[in-house]
Amino acid sequence: MYKYVTDVNKLSHHIIKEFCNKFDIAIDATLGNGHDTDFLSEIFGKVYSFEIQTSAVRAYKEKNKNNVIVIEDSHEEIKKYIKENVDCVMYNLGFLPGGNKDITTKSNSTINSLKESIDLLNSGGIITIALYRGHEEGKREETAILDFVENLPKEVFGVMLHSYVNRLNNPPYLIVIEKK
């Protein structure tokens, strides 16, 4: 097993833990099975977690974590619920593992969410995007997200892409945005 060349989720956790400036408020834009929310809740004072699937929301709420606010709505509605600046935003795009593969994140809502996240991000904050492009909507998200991040002003945002180069079948990759 590799230590660095591992799955993109573990890599995003490592980057957040090592390079975020502050650990006050985080957003998990895509709750899913709750692994990223669990991770964030261990190191941040408050975590907002978004999910559109009722079953995932109910399952996570049963954990009764005091510092997690689960919101059953699209991540493109971030500013409807969050009025404070944040230190970290995580995206784990695609579909809910073990769930209905016809329900996926969508390029338009993801871009809208990223625009809102960028506005709320504190200086020294980090956004991670685990992008799964092995399905049709994932390919559309890839195109839209790459266009979005390539056009962020380099004077304010550093953007890095971590990708596998020796794996087949459109492996996932990780995009990291750091605000100066």
pLDDT tens for each residue of 69-114: 999 999 999 999 999 999 999 999 986 666 666 777 888 999 999 9
pTM of the predicted model as reported, rounded to 2 decimal places: 0.95
More confident residue, 14 or 136: 14
pLDDT, tens digit, for every residue of 46-58? 999 999 999 999 9
In order of their start, the domains of the chain are 8-179 (3.40.50.150)
Tokens of 64: 């009764």
Give one word for 136, left, alpha or beta, with left for phi > 0 and alpha for psi -120 to 50: alpha
Residues 6+ apart with CB under 8 A from 178: 19, 124, 125, 126, 157, 158, 159, 160
Count of H-run helices and E-run strands, the chain: 6, 7
pLDDT, tens digit, for every residue of 14-57? 999 999 999 999 999 999 999 999 999 999 999 999 999 999 99
